Amino acid sequence: MDNKTVGKSLSSLAMDASELANFLTVDRHIGFNCSSQVLLKSVLEDKHELCFSVVSLLWHKLIATPETQLSEESTSAQQGWRQVVDAMCNVVSASPTKASAAIVLQADKDLYPWIARDDEQGQKMWIVNQRIVKLIVELMRNHDRPESLVIIASASDLLLRATDGILVDGEACTLPQLELLEATARAMKLVLEWGDTGLAVRDSLSNLLKCRLPATTHCLSHPSAHVRALSTSVLRDVLVIGSVKSNSKQEEIQSTKHVSPLSQYLSLGGNIDWHAEIEKCLTWEAQKGHAAGVSNTFLSAASKELGYINIPFLFEYIQARQLIGEWPEQDLAVGVVSVKGQKLDIWREKDIAN
């Protein structure tokens, strides 16, 4: 379908939400190019009801479309519900504020609790949740539309619910949630560049990442290599956030005198020592693993890869304490121990949550 044909089609569908939704999900190997995007934007401009109607219809397709086997000729984004995700992203690009707001409302209504169930209804709930999370991931990855990112990131309760089941089920449910955290961490780097205008968004995303650090760290020991790799990637991106903030710290100090009291208050939630927070989670996972008699091989390897060279020494420390009957204790004291000349901080579980 050439640009001229696309233009005529969009113009003729300008007032018909159903036909426009169908048109946006037509299988096209050439994709939806820039010219088509401009035309779609002109169609949806100032047409609030049309935009909401199209999103609603596409949302129904997203939930109801059956699973399809991928063919060699088409990409995953051009088939089945993945094609609907692609269409919704095109609508958001054309009308970021209205479409994103409509998607947040739909997602908040239709996202199920992450509860493990083996029956048919449970499988349906998993499928719906996976698709919703996948859509949010794609929207978070689109850094060309900051309006959309602000709306999605501001839906803090929705994002927390969307990632509340990382440890509930197997790989199929864990991966999309980790992808959302990865997209969140990468979006944070963009938000940091916004300065004061992005403080509220930064705090929302920071809160999500901090709340999910323990679960993400736990995934470093997951049986699935894919899950382990993705959780490592998430933590690496989080560490990059800390690096970006560290590099800009001096600039923040210099500009403190010009920051409003409200901005100072909002920025408190974003000033997180990510390196220390991750180290706490790694240490706690090491303690739990040894207490349960579980191998820490994967965790040790991931710790080294992330630059925490001290964590493997902690395993030896725990083993030494176990041999002389002094480990584990009911209530670990917060302090510093030395193993092979390396200093290791030991935290209690309540410190991880704070």
Is residue 207 pLDDT above 70, yes or no? yes
pLDDT, residue 264, reads 39
Instruction: Output Rg (C-alpha) for the chain, integer angstroms.
Output: 23
pLDDT on residue 116: 81
Burial per residue of 324-344, b for 16 or more beta-carbon CB atoms within 10 angstroms, e otherwise: eeebeeeeeeeeeeebeeeeb
Beta carbons within 8 Å of 219's beta carbon, 6+ residues apart: 166, 167, 174, 178, 227, 228, 230, 231
pLDDT band with cut points at 50, 70 and 90 for residue 277: very high
Alpha helices per DSSP H over 45-119: 48-64, 80-94, 96-110
Quote the tokens at residue 207: 């809160």
Q: What is the DSSP string of 145-157?
A: -HHHHHHHHH-HH
Q: How confident is the model at residue 321 (pLDDT cuts 50, 70, 90)?
A: low
Mean pLDDT over 128-156 rounds to 95
Q: Per-domain residue ranges for the chain?
A: 11-67+80-246+274-324
| C-alpha to C-alpha distance for 145 and 94, rounded to whole angstroms | 9
Q: What is the DSSP letter of 262?
A: H
Average pLDDT over residues 140-148: 91
For residue 42, name the pLDDT band (cuts at 50, 70, 90): confident
> Is 157 a residue whose pLDDT tops 90?
yes
The predicted structure's pLDDT at residue 350 = 43
Residue 261 pLDDT exceeds 60: no
pLDDT at 120 over 70: yes
For residue 280, the surrounding DSSP H or E stretch is helix 274-291
Task: Retrieve residue 308's tokens.
Answer: 């925490």
pLDDT at 292 over 50: yes
Confidence band (pLDDT; 50, 70, 90) for 23?
A: confident
| Residue 344 three-state SS | strand
Please tell me which residue, 312 or 305, carries the higher pLDDT value: 305
pLDDT recorded at residue 273: 93
Structure confidence by residue, pLDDT tens digits, 229-241: 999 999 999 999 9
Tokens of 227: 């899950």
Phi, psi for 345 (deg, rounded to 5): -85, 140
**Which of 199, 190, 104, 188 minimizes the C-alpha distance to 144?**
190
Please say whether the beta carbons of 234 and 174 come within 8 A.
no
Q: Which residues contact 60 (CB under 8 A, 6 or more apart)?
A: none
Looking at residue 270, what is its pLDDT? 54
* 102 within 8 A of 94, measured Cβ to Cβ: no
250: confidence class by pLDDT, cuts 50, 70, 90: very low
pLDDT of residue 8: 53
Q: Closest Cα to residue 235, out of 170, 285, 293, 197?
A: 285
Listed in sequence order, the residues at least 6 apart from 286 whose beta carbon sits closer than 8 Å to its beta carbon are: 296, 299, 311, 314, 315, 318
The answer to whether residue 185 scores a pLDDT higher than 80 is: yes
Residue 247's contacts (CB-CB under 8 Å, 6 or more residues apart) are: none
DSSP state of 65: P
The lowest-confidence range among 18-32, 146-160, 254-268 is 254-268
Output 122-129 pairs: Cβ under 8 A, ≥24 positions apart.
Answer: 126/169, 126/172, 126/173, 127/67, 128/63, 129/162, 129/165, 129/173
For 11-67+80-246+274-324, CATH gives 1.25.10
Would you state the pLDDT for residue 108?
Answer: 97
CB 202 within 8 A of CB 191: yes
| pLDDT interval class at 150 (50, 70, 90) | very high
